[in-house]
Amino acid sequence: MPLAGKRILLVISGGIAAYKSLDLIRRLRERGAEVRPVMTAGAREFVTPLAVGALSAGHVYTDLFSREDEQDVGHIRLARDCDLVVVAPATADLMAKMAHGLADDLASTVLLATDRPVLLAPAMNPKMWAHPATRRNVETLRRDGLSFVGPNAGEMAEGGEAGLGRMAEPLEIVAAAEGLLDGGQRPLAGRRAIVTSGPTHEPIDPVRYIANRSSGRQGHAIAAALARLGADVTLVSGPVALPDPPGVRVVRVERAEEMLRAVLAALPADIAVMVAAVADWHVAAPGAEKIKKQPGKGPPPLMLAENPDILKTVGHHEQRPKVVVGFAAETQDVEKNGRVKLEKKGADLIVANDVSPQTGIMGGTRNSVKLITAAGVEEWPDLSKDDVARRLADWIAGRLT
Ligand SMILES: Cc1cc2nc3c(=O)[nH]c(=O)nc-3n(C[C@H](O)[C@H](O)[C@H](O)COP(=O)(O)O)c2cc1C
């Protein structure tokens, strides 16, 4: 019962994903949590307080000016008498109100009055999520120290539209809540980390690019693991089909050049973990227009030029983070190449893995790595990428404390 004895205030706002909150209540309770629900007027248009009350086995709080509710616990106590506040779904509207400190109903008043950690699970149409106003509000809330889980990419419940905006699944929200409630295990609190993840796309022309098979799973898992230990994480990600890890600031880029700029912009930091499979080369002169087939002339020549070495730049930077970790994806002489990289790149640790196609590591969910430091080589067993991430985050925390 990982959430035994934990009291969770669940704020449900008015999005279509409110139906998933019913399952979320079940999932939280089956892990031992006590769930106290607060519903906005909008939420009550989607699911009834009767259903929410039946699943949470308790009172459902809806009105700011209800004499009974005020006599029962009162909005200030409601805001504080819990270990964690979860907002699921978090509508664009409620997040806008929170970002501006509005408090015109019970949910927004409680969110302004609470001094507990707050976890938001946004859910909305992709256009609403991408709107500059929502982007600003999310950034403000992150800066205010609130944590996020999702949204995920996929088809919207209304059907027809797909994109980033689906609420995280109840079990993902539970995992994020557990991470936040881990209690005291935040050795990286106050530390800043930069993680890169995914492949880069180097354009040939406006429609074609050179890429690689990196899925971003390992980098994203490391960003999440560092955030769980309390670090303030900036994840610079190439194009991937993964949800944003909870509690992490994500900067999306395509080319190696852009990735370097984003990494340098995120300095100073205490930790840099360069996991992205950055292309070594880009096309020297990408076509401004789509390159046409020219019958009889054969294929066009592709001149390549070298990309910046992001790990080496960070490893030798005047604002070099205290711990610099690089990943070395190799298909031969994994250990030897890892050692050479350690020195050349100015890294404290090279995590070397054999990405030969038969290992299934590139794009897969498991990883078997060797840790190469000045002190020697440590081989880890075959692990899930999440477990590699957890162990690596612990290793980094150990170096810093
Ligand atoms: C059918 C329908 C579905 C909606 N789904 C969402 C949604 O998923 N996310 C969202 O932010 N707003 C959604 N809205 C708009 C919100 O309900 C509206 O902004 C409302 O004022 C939110 O109130 P609240 O934030 O106080 O709960 C939807 C509206 C309708 C009519």
Residue corresponding to tokens 């699943």: 55
For domain 7-180, give the fold.
Answer: Rossmann fold (3.40.50)
How many whole angstroms from 17 Cα to the centroid of ligand 1? 9
For domain 192-400, give the fold.
Answer: Rossmann fold (3.40.50)
Among 10, 11, 16, residue to substitute to test ligand 1 (most atoms within 8 Å of Cβ) = 16
List the chain pLDDT tens, one digit each, 401 residues. 778 999 999 999 999 999 999 999 999 999 999 999 999 999 999 999 999 999 999 999 999 988 887 777 788 889 999 999 999 999 999 999 999 999 999 999 999 999 999 999 999 999 999 999 999 999 899 888 898 888 888 777 666 677 889 999 998 899 889 888 875 567 888 899 999 999 999 999 999 999 999 999 999 999 999 998 889 899 999 999 998 887 788 999 999 999 999 999 999 999 999 999 999 999 999 999 999 998 898 999 999 999 999 999 999 999 999 999 999 887 778 788 888 999 999 999 999 987 776 666 666 778 889 999 998 899 998 889 999 999 999 999 999 97
Which stretch of DSSP H or E encloses residue 51?
Answer: helix 49-56
Task: Tell me, yes or no, if 212 is annotated catalytic.
Answer: yes
What size, in residues, is the chain?
Answer: 401
SS3 268: coil
- What is the token pair recorded at 361? 């590591």
How many whole angstroms from 15 Cα to the centroid of ligand 1? 4
Q: Which residues line ligand 1 (CB under 6 A)?
A: 13-17, 40, 42-43, 91-94, 123-124, 128
Which stretch of DSSP H or E encloses residue 106?
Answer: helix 106-113
Cα 380 to chain centroid distance, Å, stands at: 25
Domain boundaries defined on the chain: 7-180, 192-400
How many whole angstroms from 115 Cα to the centroid of ligand 1? 26
How many whole angstroms from 14 Cα to the centroid of ligand 1? 5
Distances (CA, A) of 86 to 57, 109, 275: 18, 14, 31
Ligand 1 atom with the shortest distance to the CA of 43: 27
From 125, 137, 152, 212, active-site residue? 212
Question: How many CA within 13 A on the CB side of residue 253?
Answer: 26
> Which residue's CA is the closest to the ligand 1 atom numbered 14?
15
Angle at 148 between CA 143 and CA 150, to 5 degrees: 140
Q: Which of these, 309, 310, 328, 318, lies nearest to 196 by C-alpha position?
A: 310
The span from the CA of 226 to the CA of 386, in Å, is 11
Sequence-distant (≥ 6) Cβ neighbours of residue 187 within 8 angstroms: 229, 230, 397, 400, 401
Ligand 1 atom with the shortest distance to the CA of 92: 11
| Predicted pLDDT of residue 338 | 84
> Which residue's CA is the closest to the ligand 1 atom numbered 19?
93
What type of residue is 77?
A: R
> Which residue's CA is the closest to the ligand 1 atom numbered 1?
16
The span from the CA of 85 to the CA of 44, in Å, is 19
Cα torsion 109, 110, 116, 119: sign? negative
How many whole angstroms from 42 Cα to the centroid of ligand 1? 7
Domains 7-180 and 192-400 share a fold: yes
Among 21, 91, 97, 127, residue to substitute to test ligand 1 (most atoms within 8 Å of Cβ) = 91
